[in-house]
Amino acid sequence: MRQIHLFLRHILFWGVLLCLILLAYAVLRQRPQDLPWTKIDLDQPIGLFTGRKLAALTGERAQCLALLEQAGVSYSAMEPGGSGQCVYDDAVRLKAERGALAYAPAAVAPSCPVVAALKLWEWQVVQPAAQRIYGQPVASLRHFGSYSCRRMYGRSAGDFSEHATADAIDIAAFVLADGRQISVLNDWDGKAKDAEFLRAVRDGACDLFSTVLSPDYNKAHRDHFHLDQAERGAIGGRACR
């Protein structure tokens, strides 16, 4: 019993010490986004806990929509839909905005937590990488859709996909301002710049989404990035491959 008490005391000590170190780091660097208990702000740079906070927006429709509004994102909130295991209640369709990434097809409506992560990805990962590597912005993203009432990998049994609740989107290609297209299928192992860009945006997505799957994961993802905001991401259950 005494050994258990000592063990628990050590755990408590190191836990408090870690919190104090984290607090000091965030305060000294003026980065509240690196603290787990601060509110998420889409106008702030990506922090240590940004991905978890985005995933925690699942089920917090009003809070998530308020974040988009605060950040100046133009959107249309969709009516709840679906049935059974395929219900969605916080789907959002982005409106066309000058200077913002366009989505093709434009009618896609992922869940609000996915859209919030997509906007941060656009602002702080995709466009900076495009400017650094190509000297121009990305004009649009081509995708394979978001909502789809199905199980994982289209199987007849097993867990339902995050697509079944609009909590995922599959990104297939990026179209630059000059019209050139960089696709996951054709360019993942293509020219140096294209491969560099695709890996940069894949790696950056890992800080924002609960799950990021690319051609490095399996053949089923050879032509797209699967990005989802599974609830497990709020407590650290994340996957990046």
pLDDT digits (tens, 9 = 90+) for 59-111: 999 999 999 999 999 999 999 999 999 999 999 999 999 999 999 999 999 99
- The tokens describing 11, both together, are 């755990």
pLDDT digits (tens, 9 = 90+) for 8-29: 565 665 655 665 665 555 554 5
Residue 32: predicted pLDDT: 81
Instruction: For tokens 């050879």, name the residue.
Output: 222
Q: Angle, nearest 10°, between helix axes 127-134 and 192-205?
A: 160
Distance, in Å, from the CA atom of 75 to the CA atom of 92, rounded to the nearest integer, reads: 6
Q: Which among 99, 116, 150, 114 has a CA at the least distance from the CA of 40?
A: 116
Residue 4: predicted pLDDT: 57
> What is the H or E stretch that residue 13 is in?
helix 2-28
- The tokens describing 88, both together, are 């969605």
Query: Quick one: how far is CA 48 from the chain centroid?
Result: 14
Distance, in Å, from the CA atom of 118 to the CA atom of 134, rounded to the nearest integer, reads: 21
Write down the mean pLDDT value for the chain: 91
Q: Determine the average pLDDT of the residues in 223-230.
A: 98
Q: Which among 128, 66, 76 has a CA at the least distance from the CA of 97?
A: 76
Distance, in Å, from the CA atom of 34 to the CA atom of 31, rounded to the nearest integer, reads: 6
Strand partners, 216: none
Higher pLDDT, 115 or 33: 115
Q: Determine the average pLDDT of the residues in 184-200.
A: 96
pLDDT digits (tens, 9 = 90+) for 139-172: 999 999 999 999 998 888 889 999 999 999 999 9
Question: Residue 6 above 60 pLDDT?
Answer: no
Contact by Cβ (8 Å): 28, 14: no
Residue 41: predicted pLDDT: 94
> What is the H or E stretch that residue 4 is in?
helix 2-28
Other beta carbons less than 10 A from residue 44's beta carbon: 17
